């Protein structure tokens, strides 16, 4: 029996699959409820990193120990982002390809994602630099700034802009990633409860290491621990929208065909964040021991994502 007929029968109080088996009972109201609960549960992963990242907001970056710890978590973020892109997002995007030029379009969307994120960062950097210059000029006119302070402000402006932009761009990419997760959750609960629960579990295990890295990126961008957790949770809106779209069309496939370029675009954004913004900062480390720690955490991020992918594909 098809998914569409299952939902139609469910509306009249019947069930699909084995009669009397609660794992296969389906009603449209329950599909909505289970999908929303599962999506919110996945979004709560963004709060978990508070336990693993004992940093008191951006203020901790002023201490050598805080900076070292943050860079380790940023290394994990680079590994988890690269693992997510090359082991999950891109394989999934290419698997869903259909049509003569679908692979070409996916590749172009990856490039478009990289360039779009770079453009936004440059735009933010230019805006912050202008604000810093105006502030410096005002201080000089008021006789409150010396030449050294002015040059220091100009030096910090690009770094401040890049860090700030990276945090918000990462949240945007997470919203799109959560939209695809919502599609999967909503579509799986349309089949039956058991499939929906297993899909939710798979996404949970996939998201936890990802969210730890994202949390570190937000802290680096100036968020407090509480602010980072709130921002992570707010990305649930993307997941709820995806789940709603899948249920509304009574099949995740219909929506996936219309939004098939979301995954490669998000992959391009994650590549930009990992390789353009985070990795160069890690490469500035001169101490061999710290570099070894960072490479270990980076490798751990890739390994965790690979383990989750292999486990749920086997």
Cα–Cα distances in angstroms (integers) from residue 308 to residues 187, 244, 314, in the given order: 21, 26, 10
Q: Which helix (H) or strand (E) holds 218?
A: helix 193-220
Tell me the C-alpha distance between 65 and 67, whole Å: 5
DSSP assignments along 56-82, one per residue: -GGGGGGSHHHHHHHHHHHHHHHHHHH
The pLDDT score that the predictor gives to residue 218 is: 86
Tell me the C-alpha distance between 175 and 266, whole Å: 9
| Domain residue ranges of the chain, discontinuous segments joined by + | 3-96+170-313
Q: Which helix (H) or strand (E) holds 38?
A: helix 28-43
The pLDDT score that the predictor gives to residue 212 is: 82
The pLDDT score that the predictor gives to residue 110 is: 93
Nearest to 242 by CA among 21, 36, 15, 31: 36
The pLDDT score that the predictor gives to residue 10 is: 34
The pLDDT score that the predictor gives to residue 46 is: 76
Mean pLDDT per 10-residue segment, the chain (314 residues): 36 38 60 90 80 56 70 89 90 77 87 90 70 60 52 50 77 88 86 83 83 84 82 87 83 61 86 90 90 94 88 68
The pLDDT score that the predictor gives to residue 300 is: 94
């Amino acid at each position: 029996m098809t998914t569409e007929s299952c939902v139609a029968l469910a509306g009249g109080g019947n069930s699909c699959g084995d009669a009397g088996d609660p794992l296969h009972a389906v009603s449209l109201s329950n599909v909505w409820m289970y999908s929303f609960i599962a999506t919110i549960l996945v979004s709560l992963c963004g709060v978990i990193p508070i336990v693993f990242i004992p940093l008191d907001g951006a203020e901790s970056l002023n201490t050598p120990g805080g900076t070292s710890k943050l860079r380790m978590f940023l290394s994990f973020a680079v590994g988890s982002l690269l693992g997510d892109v090359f082991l999950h997002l891109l394989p999934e995007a290419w698997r869903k390809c259909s049509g003569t030029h679908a692979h070409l379009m996916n590749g172009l969307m990856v490039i478009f994602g990289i360039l779009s994120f770079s453009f936004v960062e440059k735009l933010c950097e230019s805006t912050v630099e202008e604000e810093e210059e105006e502030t410096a000029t005002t201080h000089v006119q008021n006789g409150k700034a010396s030449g050294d302070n002015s040059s220091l402000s100009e030096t910090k402006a690009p770094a401040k802009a890049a860090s700030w932009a990276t945090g918000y761009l990462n949240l945007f990419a997470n919203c799109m990633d959560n939209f695809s997760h919502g599609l999967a959750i909503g579509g799986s609960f349309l089949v039956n409860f058991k499939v929906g629960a297993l899909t939710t579990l798979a996404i949970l295990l996939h998201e936890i290491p990802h969210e730890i890295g994202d949390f570190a990126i937000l802290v680096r961008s100036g968020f407090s621990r509480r602010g980072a957790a709130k921002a992570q949770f707010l990305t649930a809106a993307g997941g709820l929208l995806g789940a709603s779209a899948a249920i509304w069309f009574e099949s995740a496939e219909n929506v996936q065909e219309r939004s098939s370029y979301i995954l490669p675009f998000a992959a391009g954004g994650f590549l930009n964040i990992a390789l353009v913004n985070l990795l160069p900062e890690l490469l500035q480390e001169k101490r061999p021991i710290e570099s070894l720690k960072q490479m270990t955490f980076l490798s751990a991020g890739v390994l965790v994502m690979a383990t989750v992918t292999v486990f749920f594909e086997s």
